[in-house]
Chain A
């Protein structure tokens, strides 16, 4: 046994390797991305690892792998499960053959997400088991054993770590990476794999029949466990269980839920041994609802009594506060300290030299009264530049744009979408917009990488997750084949040319596509591209703040004059903006 200090997602990847994982598929999404990133970088890797174009594609491929008898995992963030929900719901009916784990990473407090949905609800909806780890070590152990559980019940197993598992670190006890020895072989069985009505009715009944033995088994396996220590008790699960255990007094009972569905009889026995119960869980009242069904006369405190919030993430001090309010003993109270006031916020910002800023700056200049639907990626930070008016989910920039146009909105509608997001779920929106002749301009921000989640490759990158070179997809040809006649590719760093193309698009009707193509500045830095650094001539600067309003983090204002810092990546756009030509490339002596 080896002990290592690992990120939750690295420990999860290792757990998969210990379980002799054969195939892994996923689409990047914070906080899930490092599972596939760890697997694909694994030295002497035997398993097949893929970044797929979206979660539905990834899910179906992983499911097929399992149908061929292999152990497979598919990874995504919680909102990715919405995209994969279609195959997931019915795969519960068809069942699986090789162990199949669906990793859906939840994000309480929406650190990096558009909502706080709770994947445990999906598992209940699909009637498949869900594992909910309370620590990094448990995440490692659970995912390792999840493949056997899947094979035992012939069901997909939903594995649901949260941000504070995925992106927390711990000393982890690791086992050996197991060698692979399975061969893919699909055995035809239409009654299982072809869900025509006559088959699916039978499959649905079988799925329902698995539920009661599944519930019992999850208690037997120790995922759902309790210690009885007094007359009051706390029921908790996931990372909240770690916080509860940190703060709770030794005289209070704990039931810890690590897996769903919960065995009602087991939970009822625990509840009925107490006079009062508090349920502490993040997000949806999943445990609490089961507890209420089986509590009899025992009062259940929790979200529905206002003791625990329905939203946001928990923490030791918050849990201590909720326990205190429910008159349950805690070990220690935490100090209440005021946060320092008067500091300017420091939100994330597009990098110095990022092409998204330049593209959005130009869009704002040309389409002054425009409406700007946008999408999910680094460029969502264009909100600060006033060029992001809507963001809802992956791919919804083009569809929101065409929807507004079809509704009769009179202003120019210009939407922005990244290369990876366009390939994820943007293409259908474009096809639809052309088919129905929407009057919109689509700017594809093509930096050839899925940047925000940590630089994962996609079909525009020209390389696979495993590092194999593949021809990069042509976005121009894709757009043309959707029926777009106005497709122009131009680098935004040439501000004059880029602005010219935007103006041309503005003068035309129908669907116009502009591909703003320039590598991600982080990719360039890693490739040691050095364009030098720009500087402001203090005698030339008139303090007009035109460059400041561009919003580049490398440009600061000191005593009314602009200065360029070491963050400068040499894109030179500020020199094109400066009305008095006071910005130029620094010449080294």
Chain B
């Protein structure tokens, strides 16, 4: 059995980079790993997902209702994919969300926070103020690493492996602030 993580968000928010960090950490520990990603047209501001299966030797796809962990960079996307979570699994999500442009264009009612939270039902959801923590770390672009840090306590990989993977994957000039984002996220995840 693998430990299955679904990383979701909007194209451009860093789902692929975050899953690369998990994959790299697996290689560091010698654990087999499989991942699946959204490339191509769907990346243009659409809803995107990265699936990553830690300890898996077969396929890269996570069946709905079986994911151990969901990391989400947008509250609406967390709601959209929450049925992937298994019973007793964990969701860590940014508390912010972007309303799709189509909603404004076609005069649909925009879903509010109350409605989005309602979709989670009784699942374990931790909301993280990722923007604030990322700004505190030094760049609003580190929100994905904040959320990775927040969820890190549940990931069956050593913290050092995750930190080493962050250092290896993010652009060189940003290693320090990404590690800070990881730490701030981790503290927020523990304090929930």
Binding site for B on A (CB under 8 A): 3-5, 7, 30-31, 34, 111-112, 135, 164, 167-171, 239, 242-243, 245-246, 315-317, 320, 334-340, 342-351, 378, 380-381, 384, 452-454, 548-549, 551-553, 555-557
Contact = CB atoms under 8 A, between A and B. Distances in A.
B27 A336 contact: no
B48 to A, nearest CB: 9
B63 A317 contact: yes
Given A334-B65, A345-B100, 12 more contacts: A30-B40, A135-B59, A164-B61, A168-B34, A170-B34, A337-B83, A343-B76, A344-B99, A344-B100, A346-B46, A347-B102, A349-B101
B61 A316 contact: yes
Nearest to A349: B45
Contacts of B80: 340, 343, 346
28 contacts: A111-B40, A164-B59, A164-B60, A168-B36, A169-B20, A169-B33, A169-B34, A169-B36, A171-B23, A242-B58, A246-B58, A334-B63, A340-B79, A344-B103, A346-B47, A346-B76, A348-B11, A348-B45, A348-B46, A351-B45, A384-B105, A452-B40, A548-B104, A549-B105, A551-B105, A555-B101, A556-B99, A556-B104
Interface of chain B, main secondary structure: mixed
B39 A31 contact: yes
B183 interface: no
Contacts of B59: 135, 164, 239, 242-243, 246, 315-316
Contacts of A3: 27, 30
A334 B40 CA distance: 30
A4 B27 contact: yes
- Taking each of A169, A315, A454, which has the highest tally of chain B beta carbons within 10 Å of its own beta carbon? A169
Contacts of A452: 40-41, 44
B176 interface: no
- B contact residues, range: 35 or more
- Taking each of A5, A246, A348, A380, which has the highest tally of chain B beta carbons within 10 Å of its own beta carbon? A5
A164 B36 contact: yes
Contacts of A169: 19-20, 23, 33-37, 52, 60
A338 B45 CA distance: 25
Nearest to B59: A242
Contact of A343 (B35, B42, B64, B79): B79
A349 B105 CA distance: 12
Contacts, number: 171
B129 to A, nearest CB: 17
Contact of A245 (B31, B52, B58, B105): B58
A339 B42 contact: no
A171 B102 contact: no
B45 A167 contact: no
A171 B20 contact: no
Nearest 8 CB-CB pairings of A with B: A30-B40, A348-B46, A335-B65, A112-B40, A169-B35, A5-B23, A246-B58, A317-B63
Nearest to B31: A171
A168 B59 CA distance: 9
B188 interface: no
Nearest to A30: B40
B51 to A, nearest CB: 9
Nearest to B140: A566
- Taking each of B24, B31, B39, B86, which has the highest tally of chain A beta carbons within 10 Å of its own beta carbon? B39
A381 B44 contact: yes
Contact of A349 (B26, B27, B46): B46
A168 B24 CA distance: 14
Contacts of A7: 37
Contacts of A454: 39
Contact of B61 (A315, A336, A453, A549): A315
Nearest to A550: B105
A349 B104 CA distance: 13
A347 B46 CA distance: 5
Nearest to B63: A317
Interface in B72-127: 76-77, 79-80, 82-84, 86, 99-105, 108, 110-111, 115, 119
B66 A170 contact: no
Nearest to A548: B104
B104 A340 contact: no
B56 to A, nearest CB: 8
Nearest to A336: B65
B43 interface: yes
